[in-house]
Structure 1
């Protein structure tokens, strides 16, 4: 097993990150301590730990897809769930997490990569058109972010965001002064679930609301939404979704790295996977969702292990 590295945590709320990184949910209602490798049974080819944020359903979906595929080629897969990106990148860089199954390293998580990138290796891009957005309901008479500046009262002076440590949150904070929104709006951060609750309530009542969102994400189809135009590009350009590994992963697990590198999904394939995992099957039935997805799409790929 690779030597576990000790790194200095220098940014992004170090104290909070260390506290969260020390203990993460094991995905089964308990907790799993970081450090020392996997605590479960060791598969024929070793144990690989996947770290992800369940509320970020791109990573949730691909984590269970990877678990399915890696276990079928002889690995034991340990799932570690966290609530913030900072501790996840910390765990990945330290080697306590082997793979982050849906990272946004090009733009959204660029600051994390600047801090931890020397201890992380890129295992491949599985989707190449991800984008951060600001969205409102379809019935709202606003079509551009620049129109929000004069409509603060219409939206109660609030933009509903997700987790404070999310790259989307940081990008939105950078965007707001560019459009003059910092004086008339508060970016309300809590969690993805809390944002979706506000969005559901507002759209059911046909009320105006502004939220931070991203594509691909199932909520774009589940709610009557439209992305606001971003004339200055302040929310960033489209980027790729990557599988990231801890430094040395491909050398230690070459067969796993080769399989991961082959995974490529288009909009329809990704959308189907996320919809099945999040909506049709739901929590506790993710493995069934992946089975259903592979039955539908398995013939599309040369990397699928049945």
Structure 2
């Protein structure tokens, strides 16, 4: 299927606001992101869409969200190239929370004292390099120093990096879910390669109503690295599947969105214990009270 990339230069705040708005819809783009062009210092909004993209819808959304008239550039993407994987090739290893995340291209030794995880670039989110993932790994390390969980859930698992981290550190089964079947397959493959294939059970699921999720509830540790909007929508269900005293780690939250997420979960009895800040991204550690 032909795929196009839609882009437009914006300010940082505008770019992230448009990403949030696009990702709250399921009819505009396959993915959306914002990044800073290192050569110009300019921030750019990008979205990957089925070809041809609905530019009129993008312009209308920009008017609603930004109050601006924008002209989007469209560039075709070679369908034979996995651009997600290609853009991530050669990334340096990442150390966070006592974990060491590296790709198969890395030939150096794993530093002593760190838990190694080989996560290759793939068509799924989560190689350990994004601030949301490193924030979650650090939050996991903090929580595991306080408790030994018996029932764990990873929502929006992507490559499975967080579920694998939990399984390797605790040697306890983890249920991992994602709405994307490609992500589920990737998580299974990564778990097997990292020696925890029998501990990580990955399923395709939307939200928290899947029977496998409810059958294994309540959980005493949940991690969810997705987006602020979906996280807030999940707050009531998250309260239902967690037990008193449970910890919930949330990420994929921009700094200016954190208060809204904290309030949404606070109304469900999940209160903030600690907030980690990595650049413009927040990771929250909550407790069910």
TM-score under structure 1 normalisation? 0.31
Q: Which has the higher strand share?
A: 2
TM-score under structure 2 normalisation? 0.32
> Larger relative contact order (C-alpha < 8 A, sep ≥ 6)?
1
